């Protein structure tokens, strides 16, 4: 019992180190990627994965390269993108329970995507582009509404404008869905969020904004840390608070909109991943951002693999599964806060 | 960057030994300041010059506009009318970063996020000295160490800010402001929540920064005796207006305490130190 207790203590101390979690998450991500390439309609033993990867005559070669690997890649990109977007949003409104949806980005992307499905049903390639544009338009309106005149752009104003924007956009989404109920199947997979049927070109399109946005976040971690102080103190040490807040929300919106345009409205990743990292290793963005990248990628790859294998040949939408994980997580955080 | 980057050295600092020169460090002209949701000006028609190298104490009762005036001097709040000049230029002319290299300000209440270590908080004070994408260098670490030691929180540097007591937290914030190494310090009630010893040490530290490094200090103080002990000049604020400004001995008088604070008081001197003994309340503003 004694050595075990000592081991437990050592593990607890270890768990406070950011490096520990970087290693754990990377290992989990790798394992999840392997499992994701093994599982599926066509069985493929794990031992054969490296083989099937290089040998073009292997029966699973095509499935691996054309179906499973692009899907894993896009899951990683979408997860990392949403994780960082949530971390940025939480810094902007200085609230650990914020997520990309709070500024109307998700709803804007949703409306954009739906309009694409309705107006140009024959060109599905327009849907991600319109979703992307919708997300950016939504945040632009929110920021303008939140910053009337010369007043400071406070976190509360942003949240309130975002909530109002979200309400308006969701009612528009409901109206579009109501009037074009015949296209409901296309709507559903888009609004719940799914990685089904995505290939390398989709991964490529999602990668550019992801690299750009995550790169900016990683380079400005020290500045993001200052955003966590109250506005008065942050301004006092020389941070142009208003400008940084606008810039950070634009980067967050870019990331969220690109994720939505690739995979639809995947929820909860942007909320629970940075939130969990913050609880586990603290609010320092030098750690928070990289771990949100790893955590988001891992969560989405795991959830997507579960979504397409749990119910046999039937594919569940990954968005629904994530909400199923996210809701209870949210509740436990609240309980722990109250207790 | 250079050898002169010790606490307080930089643009605008005067040579050690000269307590104050007449060159203005900060100048408020016809300043009217109104808070966001208020329907009256918290500071009215304020003309006040902070001289380079002096310690100026702002005193006055609650709601007299001390904190607002201090915030306006440090571009924490924009004036509704009038202006504040740093040297020759308006305080809003420069970027926040450039301004922060000249003026450091401790606000009255400051919030840190949960889970932030004292050391990380204090590191924020170095922001204005770092390139946008740069990390802390050895000089920054030295400045932080010096500031942490100056307010006696060196041993607490690994602790989370929210686990500190009120006074310890205040000192952690002071360390952040000090390691900004600005030649002008604006402090809003730095002694609030501090115990007797740390109050005493802080007042000594401010005096020392001022005398040996020429740091100009504007400080809001509740304690009139502390103000008299520390400051070269005192500015008395009353209902948002400047009631009087001058050396402590000339400003702190029985009639001022009656007009502004509404107390009947006797002022004596013990060992060269001013002592205010409040005898009872008085009808405030009788002489105005």
pLDDT digits (tens, 9 = 90+) for A236-247: 898 988 889 888
Shortest Cα distance from A299 to chain B (angstroms)? 24
- What's B127's DSSP letter? G
Domain definitions of chain A by residue range: 69-325
For the segment A91-98, the average pLDDT, to the nearest whole number, is: 83
pLDDT at B53: 92
User: Could you give the CA distance from residue B190 to residue B187 in angstroms, rounded to a whole number?
Assistant: 6
Nearest to A232 among B110, B117, B121 (CB): B110
Nearest chain B Cα distance for residue A332, angstroms: 18
Residue with tokens 């004292």: B118
> Of B96, B100, B175, which to mutate for an interface test with A (greatest number of A Cβ within 10 Å)?
B96
Q: Tell whether the model's pLDDT for residue B76 goes beyond 70.
A: yes
Q: A237, B176 in Cβ contact below 8 A?
A: yes
Q: Compute the average pLDDT of residues A257-262.
A: 86
- Residues 6 or more apart whose CB falls under 8 angstroms from that of A72 comprise A33, A36, A37, A301
Average pLDDT over residues A295-309: 92
d(CA A133, CA A67): 28
The answer to whether residue B174 neighbours chain A at the CB level (below 8 Å) is no
Give A-chain residues touching B140 at CB under 8 angstroms: none
For A153-211, the pLDDT digits (tens) are 677 788 888 888 888 998 998 888 888 888 777 777 777 778 887 888 888 888 999 99
- Alpha helical stretches, state H, chain B: 66-73, 96-102, 118-123, 138-150, 166-178, 196-213, 224-230, 248-251, 254-256
Rounded to 5 degrees, φ, ψ at B244 are -165, 150
What is the number of other CB atoms lying within 10 angstroms of the CB of residue A19?
10
B127 and A232 within 8 Å at the Cβ level: the answer is: no
Say what the alpha-carbon torsion angle B163, B165, B170, B171 is, to the nearest 10 degrees.
Answer: -90
* Alpha carbon distance A131, A116 (integer Å): 8
User: Do the chains contact at B127 and A239, CB–CB below 8 Å?
Assistant: yes
Instruction: Identify the pLDDT of residue A148.
Output: 63
Q: Does B101 touch chain A (CB under 8 A)?
A: yes
Contact: A233, B100; criterion CB under 8 Å? no
Q: CA nearest B186 in A: which residue?
A: A236
Q: Which of A151, A222, A233 has its CB closest to that of B110?
A: A233
- A182 vs B125, residue with greater confidence: B125
- Model confidence at B99: pLDDT above 60: yes
Q: Average pLDDT, stretch B109-128? A: 86
> What does the pLDDT read at residue A56?
80
pLDDT at A316: 84
Q: Do the Cβ atoms of A313 and A319 come closer than 8 Å?
A: no
* B contacts of A225 (beta carbons < 8 Å): 120, 124
pLDDT-based confidence at B169, cuts 50/70/90? Answer: confident
Q: Give the Cα separation of B59 and B100 in Å (integer).
A: 24
Does the pLDDT of residue B242 top 70, yes or no? Answer: yes
Token pair, residue A209, equals 């904004």
Look at B132 and A223 and tell me if their CB atoms are within 8 Å: yes
A positions 95-154 inside 8 Å of B (CB): 150-151
Under the banding of pLDDT at 50, 70 and 90, the label for residue B3 is very low
Q: For B194-213, what is each residue's pLDDT tens digit?
A: 889 889 888 988 998 899 88
Q: Give the DSSP letter string of A222-241.
A: HHHHHHTS-HHHHHHTT--H
Whether the CB of A55 is below 8 Å from some CB of chain B: the reply is no
Average pLDDT, chain B: 85
Alpha carbon of B126: minimum distance to chain A alpha carbons (Å): 7
Note the pLDDT tens digit of each residue in A268-285.
899 899 988 988 888 889
B10/B38 Cα distance (integer angstroms): 38
Contact list in A for residue B161 (CB cut-off 8 A) is: none
Average pLDDT over residues B225-248: 92
> What are A104-156's pLDDT values in tens digits?
888 898 898 888 888 887 777 787 788 888 888 888 888 888 776 555 567 77
With tokens 């971690």, the residue in question is A221
Nearest chain A residue (CA) to B178: A237
Contact check, Cβ <8 Å, B115/A282: yes
Q: Is B27 on the interface with A (CB under 8 A)?
A: no
Closest CA to A231 of A127, A177, A162, A151: A151
Maximum average pLDDT range among A70-84, A300-314, B20-34, B184-198: A70-84
Q: Specify whether domain B24-252 bears CATH 3.90.1150.10.
A: no
Cα B111 to the center of its chain, rounded Å:
18
Closest by Cα among B53, B54, B51, B101 to B74: B101
Supply A223's token pair. 């500045």
Give the residue extent of every domain in chain B: 24-252, 253-288
CB pairs under 8 A between A and B: 84
Tokens (6 digits) for A213: 């946005």
A225 to chain B, any CB pair closer than 8 A? The answer is yes
pLDDT recorded at residue A123: 77
Q: Is A336 on the interface with B (CB under 8 A)?
A: no
Q: Which position has the higher pLDDT, B180 or A120?
A: B180
Q: Which of A228, A237, A283 sits opposite B100 (nearest CB)?
A: A237
Chain B residue with minimum CA distance to A149: B36
What is the pLDDT, as a whole number, of residue B7? 46
**Architecture (CATH level 2) of domain A69-325:** Orthogonal Bundle (1.10)
The mean per-residue pLDDT over the stretch B181-186 comes to: 93
- What is the rounded average pLDDT for all residues in chain A? 84
CA-based nearest residue in chain B for residue A224: B124
% of chain B beyond a pLDDT of 90:
37
Q: In chain B, which residue's Cα lies nearest the Cα of A238? A: B97
Chain A residue numbers touching B74 (CB-CB < 8 A): 236
Residues B275, B265 contacting (CB under 8 angstroms) = no
Transcribe A69-124 into DSSP letters. HHHHHHHHHHHHHHHHHHHHHHHHTT-TT--GGGGTHHHHHHHHHHHHHHH-TT-T
């Amino acid at each position: 019992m004694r050595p075990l207790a000592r081991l437990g203590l050592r593990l607890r101390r270890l768990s406070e180190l950011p490096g520990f979690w970087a290693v754990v998450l990377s290992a989990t991500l790798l394992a999840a990627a392997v499992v994701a390439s093994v599982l599926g309609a066509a069985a493929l033993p794990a031992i054969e994965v490296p083989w099937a990867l290089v040998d073009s005559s292997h029966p699973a070669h095509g499935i691996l390269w054309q179906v499973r690997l692009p899907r894993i890649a896009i899951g990683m990109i979408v997860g990392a993108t949403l994780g960082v977007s949530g971390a940025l949003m939480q810094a902007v409104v200085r609230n650990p329970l914020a997520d990309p949806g709070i500024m109307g980005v998700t709803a804007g992307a949703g409306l954009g995507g739906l309009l694409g499905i309705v107006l140009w049903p024959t060109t599905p390639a327009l849907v991600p582009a319109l979703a992307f544009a919708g997300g950016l338009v939504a945040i632009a309106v929110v920021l303008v509404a939140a910053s009337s005149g010369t007043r400071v752009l406070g976190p509360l104003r942003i949240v309130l404008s975002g909530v109002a924007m979200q309400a308006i956009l969701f009612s528009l989404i409901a109206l579009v869905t109501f009037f074009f109920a015949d296209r409901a199947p296309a709507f559903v997979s888009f609004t719940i969020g799914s990685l089904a049927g995505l290939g390398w070109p989709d991964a490529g399109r999602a990668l550019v904004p992801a690299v750009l946005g995550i790169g900016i976040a990683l380079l400005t971690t020290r500045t993001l840390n200052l955003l966590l102080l109250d506005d008065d103190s942050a301004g006092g040490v020389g941070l142009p608070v208003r400008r940084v807040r606008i810039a950070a929300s634009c980067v967050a919106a870019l990331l969220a909109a690109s994720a939505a345009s690739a995979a639809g409205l995947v929820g909860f990743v942007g909320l629970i991943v940075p939130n969990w990292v913050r609880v586990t290793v603290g609010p320092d963005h030098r750690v928070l951002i990289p771990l949100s990248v790893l955590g988001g990628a891992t969560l989405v790859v795991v959830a997507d693999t579960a979504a397409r294998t749990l119910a046999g040949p039937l594919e569940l939408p990954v968005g629904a599964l994530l909400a199923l994980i996210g809701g209870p997580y949210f509740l436990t955080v609240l309980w722990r806060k109250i207790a | 960057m250079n050898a002169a980057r010790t606490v307080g050295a930089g643009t605008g600092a005067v040579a050690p030994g000269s307590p104050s020169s007449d060159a203005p460090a900060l100048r408020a002209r016809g300043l009217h300041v109104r808070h966001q949701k208020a329907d009256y000006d918290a500071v009215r028609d304020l003309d006040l010059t902070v001289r380079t190298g002096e310690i100026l104490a702002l005193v006055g009762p609650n709601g007299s506009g001390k904190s607002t005036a201090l915030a306006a001097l440090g571009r924490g709040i924009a004036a509704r009318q009038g202006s504040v000049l740093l040297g020759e230029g308006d305080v809003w002319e420069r970027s926040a970063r450039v301004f922060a290299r000249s003026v450091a300000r401790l606000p009255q209440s400051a919030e840190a996020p949960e889970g932030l270590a004292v050391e990380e908080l204090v590191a924020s004070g170095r922001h204005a000295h770092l390139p946008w994408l740069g990390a802390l260098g050895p000089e920054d670490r030295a400045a932080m160490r010096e500031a942490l030691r100056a307010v006696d929180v060196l041993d607490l540097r690994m602790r989370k800010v929210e686990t500190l007591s009120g006074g310890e937290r205040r000192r952690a914030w002071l360390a952040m402001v000090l390691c900004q190494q600005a030649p002008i310090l604006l402090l809003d009630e730095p002694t609030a929540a501090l115990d007797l010893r740390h109050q005493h040490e802080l007042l000594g530290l401010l005096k020392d920064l001022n005398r040996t490094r020429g740091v100009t200090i504007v400080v809001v103080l509740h304690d009139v005796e502390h103000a008299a002990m520390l400051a070269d000049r005192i500015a008395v604020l009353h209902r948002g207006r400047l009631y009087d400004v001058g050396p402590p001995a000339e400003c702190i008088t029985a009639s001022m305490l009656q007009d502004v604070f509404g107390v009947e008081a006797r002022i004596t001197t013990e060992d060269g130190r001013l002592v205010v003994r409040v005898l009872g309340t008085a009808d405030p503003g009788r002489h105005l």
